[in-house]
Chain A
């Protein structure tokens, strides 16, 4: 059983640029969600994808967008990067049909630094 994999692990961007982060969900999981974790804070929910559609969103502006593909993998796109976007971006997968459907398995994260 493969876990959740994310890429890249680290990246540095400058303010105003755009970034795409990628995630492959755990085998058997059909739901992907993304979280932002700033230094010293708990993860904050960005959005969730199920059946290739966004079906839940946290308090993040529209410049945060995403995709889910038929194989359940996902992308997080952030446009017009701001300094405050510097954080660890966590992808989590889950299986909505399983007992304990809200149990998330996190990937190792992508650490984004915006200069």
Chain B
């Protein structure tokens, strides 16, 4: 059973600070890792994906992957109130091309003005 674990929060961060979101996964053969943002009542929207160990930066967002530790994180710099949402970590497992994504339950992030 493939599992993706996230702290459900809420994680409260002051405006302008760095928000750090973490995720661990159980399938050691996983190849692709995704962060989605979901506002209440809306569908998930992709923030970033990462395939290789290390850091990947896109604007205020940085994804970090450590396959040895089976750990993925998302850093949000200069946090804004509009960043308040649930952040879903998703993993593409080693089961082949038609294997769907396994999502965590999400971390609820609150940016305090």
Contacts and interface: CB of A to CB of B under 8 A. Distances in A.
Interface of A: 33, 35, 40-48, 50, 55-56, 58, 88, 90, 96, 100-109
A35 to B, nearest CB: 7
Contacts, number: 60
Contact of A102 (B32, B43, B44): B32
A41 B97 CA distance: 24
Interface string B79-113: 00000000010101000111111111110000000
B105 A102 contact: no
Nearest to B33: A102
A105 B101 CA distance: 12
Contacts of A46: 100
A108 B43 contact: yes
Interface of B: 4, 32, 34, 36, 42-46, 49, 88, 90, 92, 96-106
Contacts of A96: 97
Nearest to A50: B98
A56 B98 CA distance: 5
B44 to A, nearest CB: 5
Contacts of B46: 103-105
A3 to B, nearest CB: 10
Contacts of A48: 98, 100
A56 to B, nearest CB: 3
Contacts of B44: 43, 90, 106
